[in-house]
Amino acid sequence: MKYQKITIVLFFFLLALIPLLIFLLPKQEFSQEENRYLADFPELSLEAITNKSFMDEVDVYAADHFPLRTSWIGMKTHLEHLSGLKEINGIFVLKDRLIEKVDQIDSENIRKSVKEMNTFAKRFEGSTSLMLIPTAAEIYRDMLPNGAPGVVQKEQIDRIYGQTKQIATIDAYSSLMSNAQKLTFYRSDHHWTSFGAYLGYSAASKQLGYTPIPAERFNVEHASHQFRGSLYNKIIYDRIEPDSVDLYTYGNGSHVRKVDIFDGKEWTEADDIYFREYLEQKDQYSVFLGKNQPIVTIHTDAENDSKLLIFKDSYSHSLVPFLALHYSKITLVDLRYLTKSFENWIDLGDYQQVLFCYNFKDFAIDNDVQKVNIPK
């Protein structure tokens, strides 16, 4: 009876202590482990109380600032995996890698995106190409648990390619699939590796009109051996071997003269496409061109006047080191971060080629491509 009373007292003590710790302990603004900003305490207002959004936001705040939050997440993942779960928070936990589930598409969204790309291709005087990159869930499909839900990305990509009219299509699937036994995608991140990006660069060469440099002629620097990426961040599962981050260079070093970066408000300048300071941080993939920005323009020492405009997601960041060897200027536009026409800052007539380059999951769900024809 005595021990029962102690247990009850301890339970209520912890029940009272945890909320106090949540609100009294010093707060982090950014979680390095999860690579994201944590919720701020919501603003109290009559409207927020009436529509119940205040308490919803308080719940999010409390969850984000729960004491030892990441340790609890990691412990929860381990226990769930030990219990037999193979999918946790949308991530398949396999013996030697994590794979993000792709089991949904938005057919209407895809239709609208394809329509806008076709419209763009009609008004652009140069050539327009599209490369949809299958994710690891497609390339490593045979590794997934039996009966695991998932979209057959190859079929969907072929269907999308069949709807393009004046747009040349690039087959990234075949190259990635034929090298599936190699590390074409990171073990704990949703991006393709530098080698995977090299395969995409080679696949794009025929349509974009350059001769790819053989892989063995590049210098490969293993810049980090401790990369844990976006999939790790979601479930804090540390029993997967960390990834290496490889930087490819050709010849006597960088061929980049300067990099102009527009953050939506002002332009800044960098001297390289590799932002090595990120190798000392959690988000090591950002060594490729830094954080996502609305517009980035790369000027190279290529002895030609070829200029390429890329509408993209972050997969293109590790593709650019290869493409930069063949163009005097490459501009990357991330439509996710623009609310006005990109042509407010870019002269479309300055480019001979345009490439739409997206991973299949983002393209199938997001509607950012549909902003490509917003009037100036």
Q: Are residues 126 and 210 in the same domain?
A: yes
Query: Has residue 207 been placed in a domain?
Result: yes
Of 18, 44, 67, which one is at a domain's C-terminal end? 67
Within 10 angstroms of residue 353's Cβ, the number of other Cβ atoms is 20
Whether residue 74 is contained in a domain is answered as: no
Rounded to the nearest integer, the mean pLDDT of the chain is: 85
Q: Is residue 93 part of a domain?
A: no
| 97 neighbors 140 (Cβ within 8 angstroms) | yes
Q: Would you say residue 78 lies in a domain?
A: no
145 and 10 together in one domain: no
Q: What is the pLDDT of residues 21-72, one digit of tens each?
A: 445 545 555 444 444 455 555 565 665 566 555 555 545 544 544 444 555 5
- In this structure, the answer to whether residues 198 and 347 fall within a common structural domain is yes
In a domain, 376, yes or no: no
- Give the number of other Cβ atoms within 10 Å of residue 247's Cβ: 20
What pLDDT shows up at residue 329?
97
pLDDT in tens, 94-124: 989 999 999 989 999 999 999 999 999 999 9
> Is the confidence at residue 371, as pLDDT, over 80?
yes
pTM: 0.82
Q: Work out how many domains the chain is built from and give that number.
A: 2
171 with 308, same domain: the answer is yes
Do residues 116 and 21 both lie within one domain?
A: no
Question: Is residue 236 a contact partner of residue 310, using CB atoms and an 8 Å limit?
Answer: no
Mean pLDDT of 8-18: 45
- Residue 77 in any domain: the answer is no
Q: Taking residues 237-249, what's their average pLDDT?
A: 93
pLDDT of residue 46: 65
Residue 165's pLDDT band (cuts 50, 70, 90): confident
Pair 60, 113 in one domain: no
Q: What pairing do the DSSP bridges indicate for beta strands 243-250 and 218-227?
A: antiparallel
Asked whether residue 262 falls in the same domain as residue 141, the answer is: yes
Average the pLDDT over each of 44-53, 125-134, 235-244 and give the range with the smallest value. 44-53
Query: In the block, which residue shows the tokens 């704990």?
Result: 188
Alpha-carbon distance of 165 to 124, in angstroms, equals 13
Is residue 245 one of the residues assigned to a domain?
Answer: yes
Please check whether residue 349 is in contact with residue 316, taking contact to mean a CB–CB distance below 8 angstroms: no
Q: What is the pLDDT of residue 149?
A: 85
Contacts of residue 50, defined as CB under 8 A and 6 or more positions apart, other chains included, come to: none
Q: Are residues 319 and 247 in the same domain?
A: yes
Instruction: Determine the average pLDDT of the residues in 310-323.
Output: 97
Whether residue 25 sits in one domain with residue 122: no
| Domain of residue 33, residue span | 2-67
Let me know whether 153 and 266 are in one domain.
yes
Q: Does 320 reside within a domain? A: yes
Q: Are residues 117 and 24 in the same domain?
A: no
Question: Residues 233, 292: one domain?
Answer: yes
Using the predicted structure, report yes or no on whether residue 205 has a pLDDT greater than 60. Answer: yes
Segment 147-153 shows an average pLDDT of 90
Higher per-residue confidence, 336 vs 77: 336
Strands 168-170 and 127-133: parallel
Are 217 and 250 a contacting pair, CB within 8 Å? yes
Query: 311 vs 238, which has greater pLDDT?
Result: 311
Residues 299/262, Cβ–Cβ less than 8 Å: no
124 C-beta neighbours (distance < 10 Å), count = 18
Predicted pLDDT at 237: 86
What does the pLDDT read at residue 39?
A: 55
Of 224, 208, 217, nearest in space to 327 by CA: 208
